[in-house]
């Protein structure tokens, strides 16, 4: 099993990569889907046409690429760190998402959402002080 | 109403998917070699795991629900609201993955939950 110091050293870069790729992917997908408009009818033919339009959207593909990078980083860190550690500590993505949505999509973000984001960030800080793994498996 | 129904599906299936995928990765073991060939080996073992496919299926359900809800709701509302998975995820980690959650971890998760409540109240 890897020593605690080495474990933390290899954990930290992934704690940055996971939320950055995840938030960027969500915002890019949001940009792509916003251009599509809402789904008005749920018939198979309408959904098929809608799916083709989504598949032809560059922003959707960029979002998917970013989410793929997120998923691989997420899998790797879960091979050694607790899920209950990774999940809250990568919550910085929830702070990044409103920031990116405001900057890239021009969304108006209410003040109470920023307060909520601050609570999330504080929670991340508390969990980040605990050891990455408690199960002792390698 | 449909927004909150889809948010519930996103949280429950997303967390279930995460737990199944975590179980698959724990069975593979700690990744120590990040060379491309070694990572491909990890990926090969991952796709051979039934837990991985269960997790991917649940994540796909969460993903398509997210895709649908993003077509009419704000990203800055939808994404933070799905943070309810911190509570569900904490319970899953304790009871299904047998992780030892300290008081600090639970405190952090409660802070995140408070953050989610504030974010949702802004709707």
Distance CA A71, CA A114 (A): 26
Residue of B nearest to A98 (CA): B76
How high is the ipTM of this complex?
A: 0.84
Look at residue B122 and tell me whether its pLDDT is greater than 70: no
- Whether residue A137 lies inside any domain: the answer is no
Q: Is B62 on the interface with A (CB under 8 A)?
A: no
Is the dihedral angle over the CA atoms A76, A77, A82, A86 positive or is it negative? negative
- Whether residue A81 lies inside any domain: the answer is yes
Nearest to A75 by CA among A17, A114, A123: A17
- Whether residue A134 lies inside any domain: the answer is no
Which range marks the domain in which residue A40 is found? 4-128
Tens of pLDDT, residues B51-81:
999 999 999 999 899 888 888 888 777 876 7
Range name among A64-68, A99-103, B5-9, B41-45 with the lowest pLDDT average: A99-103
Residue A103 phi/psi, 5° resolution?
A: -75, -40
- Whether residue A133 lies inside any domain: the answer is no
CA angle B19–B21–B26, rounded 5-degree value: 95
- Neighbour tally for B83: CB within 10 Å: 27
Q: How many domains does chain A have?
A: 1
Share of chain B above pLDDT 90, in %: 50
- Whether residue A10 lies inside any domain: the answer is yes
Give the nearest partner residue to B79 out of A26, A54, A78, using CB atoms.
A26
Q: What is the pLDDT of residue A136?
A: 64
User: What number is the average pLDDT over the span A15-32?
Assistant: 87
Tens of pLDDT, residues A92-132:
777 777 787 788 878 888 888 788 888 888 998 898 888 88
Mean pLDDT, all residues of chain B: 87
User: What number is the average pLDDT over the span B110-114?
Assistant: 82
- Whether residue A136 lies inside any domain: the answer is no
Is the dihedral angle over the CA atoms A4, B23, B55, A84 positive or is it negative? negative
């Amino acid at each position: 099993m890897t020593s605690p110091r080495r474990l933390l050293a290899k954990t930290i870069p992934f704690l940055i990569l996971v939320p950055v790729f995840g938030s960027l992917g969500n915002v890019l997908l949001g940009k792509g889907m916003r251009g599509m408009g809402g789904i008005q009818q749920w018939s198979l033919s309408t959904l098929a046409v809608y799916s083709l339009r989504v598949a032809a959207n560059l922003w959707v593909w960029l979002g998917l690429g970013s989410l793929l990078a997120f998923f691989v980083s997420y899998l790797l860190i879960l091979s050694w760190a607790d899920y209950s550690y990774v999940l809250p500590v990568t919550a910085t993505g929830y702070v990044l998402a409103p920031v990116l949505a405001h900057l890239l999509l021009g969304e108006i973000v209410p003040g109470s959402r920023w307060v909520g984001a601050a609570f999330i960030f504080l929670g991340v800080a508390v969990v980040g002080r605990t050891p990455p793994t408690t199960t002792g498996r390698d | 109403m449909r927004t909150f129904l889809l948010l519930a599906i996103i949280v429950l299936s997303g967390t279930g998917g995460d737990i199944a995928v975590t179980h698959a990765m724990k069975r593979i073991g700690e990744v120590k070699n990040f060379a491309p060939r070694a990572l491909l080996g990890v990926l090969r073992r991952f796709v051979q795991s039934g837990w991985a496919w269960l997790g991917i299926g649940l994540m796909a359900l969460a993903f398509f629900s997210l895709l649908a809800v993003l077509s009419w709701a704000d990203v800055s509302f939808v994404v933070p609201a799905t943070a309810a998975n911190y509570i569900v995820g904490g319970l899953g980690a304790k009871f299904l993955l047998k992780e030892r959650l300290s008081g600090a971890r639970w405190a952090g998760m409660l802070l995140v939950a408070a953050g989610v409540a504030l974010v949702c109240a802004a709707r």
